[in-house]
Structure 1
Amino acid sequence: MHFPTTCPACAHEVPVEFADSAVHDVICPACGARYVVFVRKHKFEVLFDLGTRALMDGYAREAVASFAAALERFFEFYVRSFALERAAGTEGDFTEALAALEGTWRHVASQSERQVGMLALAYLLREGRAPDFLTPGALGADFRNRVIHRGYLPRREEVEAYAARVFALIDRLLTELGGSTAHAELAQEQAFAAHLATLPEGVTAVFEEHPGMFRARRFGGPPGDKAAVPGKTAPPLNGAQAFARALAERGPGLDVFKGR
């Protein structure tokens, strides 16, 4: 999947394929200028946005795969945010703490069940209660497995229900993490800085923040839906309502992925 960038030298629009690292080395086909695009967006955000775009375009089965992957990568994001938050409360160096985290994560990087175990422990230590959202029913595991592993062709309404479940869970845990997400943001900025330091002279660095289903929510102020009457607060939305509202408000911004 691609997103459009603008060449800083000649303003030519260049389609760029999403990179796993969020770092994109680009050569403009119009003028030959070299530049690097750093996308300030985490992998779970990109995956969920790609799933939403696929759902909007009618690719229901492909959307399920992206939503499922987004949830797994968000679990990793949660563990990283928690671990780095704890490290920030000690006298240790952040870079050292990040290196230790990377070394630890390698032990579970290819085993999703162990990653869920790390999430469960991180949630218990941070919130002081057992994670009530790790049951197969709460995660929609049976539906996911039927689609991904058994080739089931889902109806759009089934995919919307699954997307709403994933969206509501990620949104809830982001709310509980609050400012702790800044530690994961700092880790990404350090990775960007390391790549930036290796760039040869004459290569321009471009930093971008794309619209998305979660970035608008995370950086748009405190949570809460205000009612039409000033001073009143509307009842909390359920997962389906929250996803539908986010889709209506933020879905149009995902046109950046369309037709690329």
Structure 2
Amino acid sequence: MHFPTTCPRCRRQVRAEYSDSGIHELTCPHCGSAFSVYLRKHKFEVLFDLGTRALMDGYAREAVASFAGSLERFFEFYTRAATLERAAGQGEDFGEVSAQLEQVWKLMAAQSERQLGAFSLAYLWREGQAPDFLTPQALGSDFRNRVIHRGYLPPRSEVDAYAARVFALIDRLLTRLGEAATHAQLEQERLYAVHLAAQPPEVFAVFEEHPGMFRVRRFGGQVGTKAGQPKTLPPSPANDAAAFQLALRERGALLGTVFGGVERAAVRGDTAPPDPA
């Protein structure tokens, strides 16, 4: 999947393929300038938006894979955010804890069951209660496995229901995280800063924020509570399906702008240099 960006030198549009790291090293096909695009968006957000886009375009089976991947990556996001929040509260060094967390996560990177266990423990530490919403039925595990592993071709109605279940769970947990999410965001910014520092001065750096199903919710919606406050997940509008459809009406159109324009902020080399004589 690709997204459009703008060359910071000639200001012409360039299409970039989504990178797993969020860092996109590009060369403008029009003027030959080298630039790096740093996407301020987490993988669970990108995957859910790709799933929503696939669903809107009629690719139901492909949408399921993206929604399932989004949920797994959100559990990682929550685990990282909660762990870093806990470390910050104890006065531990952010960089050291982040490095240790990365080492530990590599031990479970290939095993989703271990990742789910890590999330469960992080949730217990933060909320003071077990995550009773992790049953196979609540997660739609059987449906996911039938589609991804057994080649089941689902009707649109079943994919809508699965998308609604995943959206509602992520949305409620993201609200519960509240300001703790900034710890995971800081971790991403630090990784970008390391990459940026290693770039030669002639390479432009562009930071972009794309709209999506969760970004509007995170930066323009209700701020979540901190750990130690009421221990129940906030209710969604009426039910999961209603919550997802409401979000789709409010934010689904924004996904189209990802393919035709983005919120843009360039920090280094924002002003295009004069053409060489």
TM-score (normalised: structure 1): 0.93
Give aligned pairs, total.
Answer: 250
Give 1:53's aligned residue.
53
Cα pair 1:50 1:257 within 8 Å, conserved = no
Tell me what 1:163 maps to: 163
Question: Is the 2:140–2:162 contact (alpha carbons within 8 Å) kept by the matching residues of 1?
Answer: yes
Amino acid at match of 1:84: L
SS at match of 1:36: strand
**Unmatched segments (≥5 aa) in structure 2:** 225-234, 261-277
Does 1:248 pair with 2:249? yes
Once residues 204 and 259 of structure 2 are traced to their aligned partners in structure 1, the CA distance between those partners, rounded to angstroms, is: 26
Deviations 1:54-109 (A, max 9, x none): 00000000000000000000000010001100111123211001001001111111
1:181 aligns with 2:172: no
Counterpart CA distance in 2 for 1:194 and 1:138 is 39
Counterpart-to-counterpart distance in 2, 1:237 and 1:37? 40
- Matched with 2:124 is 124
**1:33 is aligned with what amino acid?**
S
Q: List per-residue Cα deviations over 1:202-248 (Å, max 9, x = no partner).
A: 11110000000000001103169xxxxxxxxx983311111101111
Residue ranges of structure 1 left out of the alignment (5+ in a row): 225-233
C-alpha distance in 2 between matches for 1:238 and 1:182: 28
Deviation at 1:252, TM superposition (A): 1.0
Question: Percent sequence identity over matched residues?
Answer: 67
d(CA) in 2 for partners of 1:196, 1:164: 38
1:122-180 CA distances to partner (integer Å, 9 max, x unpaired)?
11111011101110000000110110011000011110000000000000100111110
Change (3 A) 1:33 1:244: same
Match of 1:77 in 2: 77
Distance 2:8 2:133 in 1: 45
What residue number does 2:12 align with? 12
Alignment root-mean-square deviation, CA: 1.6
Distance in 1 separating the partners of 2:154 and 2:182: 37
Retained in 1: the 8 A contact 2:5–2:13?
Answer: yes
The 3-state SS of whatever aligns with 2:64 is: helix
4+ runs of 1 displaced by more than 3 Å?
A: 234-237, 256-259
CA distance in 2, matches of 1:193, 1:105: 21
Aligned-pair distance for 1:257? 5.4
